[in-house]
Amino acid sequence: MNISIDREALARSVQDVMKAVSTRTTIPILTGIKLTATALGVTLTGSDSDISIESFIPLEKEGRLFVDVKRPGSIVLQARFFAEIVKKLPQQTVEIETEDNFLTVIRSGHSEFRLNGLNADEYPRLPQIEEENVFQIPADLLKTIIRQTVFAVSTSETRPILTGVNWKVENNELVCTATDSHRLAMRKVKIEAGHAVSYNVVIPGKSLNELSKILDDGSAPVDIVITANQVLFKAEHLLFFSRLLDGNYPETARLIPTESKTTMTVNAKEFLQAIDRASLLAREGRNNVVKLTTLPGGLLEISSVSPEIGKVTEQLQAESLEGEELNISFSAKYMMDALRALDGTDIQISFTGAMRPFVLRPLYTDSMLQLILPVRTY
């Protein structure tokens, strides 16, 4: 292999595929990045067997030359060193040439590195996915969907299925649900699928977090292909594979209350800031609990008591308040996470009693919802 390549384009691709490379892997070759040069351009691959990322650098784009392939070929280079080297090379052009015994020479300006490479034939092959049932979501919307759900996945491995986000596709609608059994985040979105596709899969939260970091902010479409044990996200010059979690996701629809005894509408930003202030004292105490009490005249009182430190109380005017009086305690962190995830200035919160889960929704749409279980206080 002998190529010269634009350093910025290479650094960007290396950065992307590094997100799939793990230092803790049982397969030593996976600590490397695979480079493959063909007549079309250069492909970089990183994988930790759960996630695989492939980034392609074309010969040219919009009239700008990126790659000159003098001799095609492939090599695997130690990811950590290669990434650092590329970042710090002095010139805009990088030459990469492989010699005997997989020795790889990297030149830029007056700088020359010689890295011991590995045989690319030993690198595991990426899953071959039949692209029959594809649906599309714009990149910026996909990032929003991930942001609004993935924070609620479980971090505990006791129920591995809850460490992922449930993606359900039917009737041209995608419903994404995440729960750690103390709270739940749900987001619905209409999709355009060429034909009637239906899926019910669970994508690891870690995979979605990494995908979100790589995707551009623009509205370019991302193709999504789901198979029995893999999902593929396909953007321009980028392939992102993730394994799916085994097992059945719990039926969450029945957790969401259909009626309410107390309903309030609050300004999301004001409410978030009040909870944040109340939690200043709660953070020190046990599991960050704040208390919400309804008062006459549409007032809400948010308070927190930490016996060793002190007490905080704040009153807030609700934009509307209907139903029974309420006195409820909940985790400030869960409430703040939920409020940050919901788009919109006004949030409606529906309660069905002090010990029942309550629901937060933006006022004018039912496409997103957050559910939180209260905390029992004695």
Residue-wise pLDDT for 220-242, tens only, equals: 999 999 998 999 999 999 999 99
Q: Does a structural domain hold residue 211? A: yes
Q: Does a structural domain hold residue 127? A: no
Count of alpha carbons within 13 angstroms of residue 163, beta-carbon side: 13
The answer to whether residues 18 and 44 touch, using CB atoms and an 8 Å cutoff, is no
Residue-wise pLDDT for 326-371, tens only, equals: 999 999 999 999 999 997 789 999 999 999 999 999 998 889 999 9
Domain boundary, last residue among 102, 122, 142 = 122
Domain interval for residue 292: 256-372
Q: Examine the domain organization and report whether 262 and 364 are in the same domain.
A: yes
Q: Examine the domain organization and report whether 43 and 147 are in the same domain.
A: no
Residues of the chain predicted below pLDDT 50: none
Q: Does a structural domain hold residue 174? A: yes
Interacting residues of 65 by C-beta distance below 8 A, sequence separation 6+? 6, 59
Short-list 340, 196, 325, CA closest to 272: 340
Domain holding 174: CATH number?
3.10.150.10
Residue 48: CB atoms within 10 Å: 18
Q: Examine the domain organization and report whether 151 and 186 are in the same domain.
A: yes
Alpha-carbon distance of 325 to 137, in angstroms, equals 43
Instruction: Provide the pLDDT for residue 286.
Output: 61
Place of tokens 């996470």: 337
DSSP H stretches of helix in 63-110: 79-88
What global pTM score does this model have? 0.94
Give the tokens for residue 10: 């290479």
Q: Examine the domain organization and report whether 290 and 311 are in the same domain.
A: yes
Q: Does a structural domain hold residue 128? A: no
The answer to whether residues 278 and 290 touch, using CB atoms and an 8 Å cutoff, is yes
Domain boundary, last residue among 122, 151, 176 = 122
Q: Examine the domain organization and report whether 264 and 368 are in the same domain.
A: yes
Q: Examine the domain organization and report whether 45 and 86 are in the same domain.
A: yes
Q: Examine the domain organization and report whether 266 and 241 are in the same domain.
A: no
Total domains present in the chain? 3
Tell me the pLDDT of the chain averaged across its residues: 94
Q: Examine the domain organization and report whether 138 and 231 are in the same domain.
A: yes
Domain holding 289: CATH number?
3.70.10.10
Q: Examine the domain organization and report whether 172 and 65 are in the same domain.
A: no
Q: Examine the domain organization and report whether 179 and 285 are in the same domain.
A: no
Interacting residues of 347 by C-beta distance below 8 A, sequence separation 6+? 265, 266, 267, 268, 271, 339, 360, 361, 362, 363
Q: Does a structural domain hold residue 284? A: yes
Q: Does a structural domain hold residue 129? A: no
Q: Does a structural domain hold residue 193? A: yes
Q: Examine the domain organization and report whether 17 and 32 are in the same domain.
A: yes
Place of tokens 């629809």: 253
Alpha-carbon distance of 43 to 58, in angstroms, equals 9
Q: Does a structural domain hold residue 154? A: yes
Domain boundary, last residue among 253, 285, 312 = 253
Q: Examine the domain organization and report whether 14 and 60 are in the same domain.
A: yes
